[in-house]
Every structure is written in structure tokens, then in C-alpha cells.
A and B are shown apart, each in its own frame.
Chain A
Amino acid sequence: EAGVAQSPRYKIIEKRQSVAFWCNPISGHATLYWYQQILGQGPKLLIQFQNNGVVDDSQLPKDRFSAERLKGVDSTLKIQPAKLEDSAVYLCASSLGWRGAEAFFGQGTRLTVV
């Protein structure tokens, strides 16, 4: 079974630039998550989709972050404009269900903002 695919693996940008991350979940998984993992911390949920609808985006800094999941499959996460404190690993995960269902994680995108 193919896992969760993410690209790019690494990205370095200057502050105030924009960046986008892409995620392809496991086939058939209705729920998709984007997590932010800052160095030395555990992953923190940014946004959760159920099919193509948003379930939870309470922790998403909506003034600069946006995400979409067109057709309930692939998803993109965008940051515009980026700040130094956005340097982190951005993890995408997917699960068959939600509310405690096992989440499968991608390898993440390491973003460095300079």
C-alpha cells in the first residue's frame, strides 16, 4: 500500500515570500490532516479535512496560511507571506475515519525561512 506522499521534502525561502506544500493521502482515506512540527516540539494540528470539507481549522493562522483539498483527495497548504517563526516541518497525515482513527503520516516538508 502506498503511503502518504508529500512534496517538496525541503524548502528554503526568504521571509515575506510565499510557499506551497502538496500532499497526496493514502487512497480511500477520507480524513486528511496538516500538522506543524517546530523543532523540539510535537506535531500540532493546523487543519483537518473530512473529504473536501474543513472539520477543524481553529489553529490555522488564517491571515497567512491557507489550505484546500479539491475533490477530496490531494491537498495543498500555502503560506503567504512567510515569517521566520514558520520554520518547521509540515506533516501531512490521512486516516480512514476520524476521531481517533489511526493516522498515517508522510515524511514531511522541512521549511526554513531566512
Chain B
Amino acid sequence: AQSVSQHNHHVILSEAASLELGCNYSYGGTVNLFWYVQYPGQHLQLLLKYFSGDPLVKGIKGFEAEFIKSKFSFNLRKPSVQWSDTAEYFCAVNPSGANNLFFGTGTRLTVIP
């Protein structure tokens, strides 16, 4: 079945550590890719998105993601996390021809001060 996989369910890091959250998808063809973040008690909001062009995408708050087509991956990175990055992170895919987003199960990030 076609899916979006986020293998890390819960990641715990100390402040200033580097972050990489994995996202793999199984849809073929052209895809639009997104990372959403949900801070505690808040709504889902867009971190960054990839439609085409440079596969390295920069988003808000120092986050970036790299689209590797051959690996069907769109991993999220941040060189140095802060306590305020504690949140749940969702990868989402809009496959070619589809009207909506398909989400992964999310990764909970806890940053320890």
C-alpha cells in the first residue's frame, strides 16, 4: 500500500544538538512534499514545502529538508535545536493527481534544556 513513513516516533535531544527526522514515501511519479509542525496546544503549521527545483529546501526557524528522489525521502534537518523546537513533526505528501495530503504518523521531538 502507498504510504508515508516516519520511523522515529519519539526523539529526545539536548539543546544545541543536531536534528534529522526521517521521512520516506512510496508514491511514484511527481510529488509535492511538506513538513508540518504542531507545538504543544497549537494547530498544525507549515514548516517548509518542496514542489520542484532545488532539492534542498529551507523553511522557517532554521529548518531545512532535502528531497532525494532516488531514495523516496524528504528528511528534515536542523543544525542546532532549541528547547522551543519541542513539538510533533509531520511529513506529508501530495502525490501527482491527488487532491489532498497524505500524512505520516508523526515524530515527537523533545528538546531538553
A residues in contact (CB < 8 Å) with B: 3-4, 33, 40-45, 48, 55-56, 91, 93, 98-100, 102-108
Contacts and interface: CB of A to CB of B under 8 A. Distances in A.
A105 B94 contact: no
B32 A100 contact: yes
Interface stretch (B13-21, B41-49, B60-68, B69-77): B41-49
Given A43-B103, A99-B99, 15 more contacts: A3-B43, A4-B43, A33-B100, A42-B4, A42-B105, A45-B100, A48-B100, A91-B43, A98-B99, A98-B100, A102-B46, A103-B101, A105-B43, A105-B44, A105-B45
Interface of B: 4, 32, 34, 36, 42-46, 49, 51, 90, 92, 94, 98-106
A55 B105 contact: no
A100 B51 CA distance: 8
Contact of A99 (B46, B98, B102): B98
Contacts of B99: 48, 55-56, 98-99
Contact of B105 (A41, A93, A107): A41
Nearest to B100: A45
A106 B100 contact: no
B103 A42 contact: yes
A100 B97 CA distance: 10
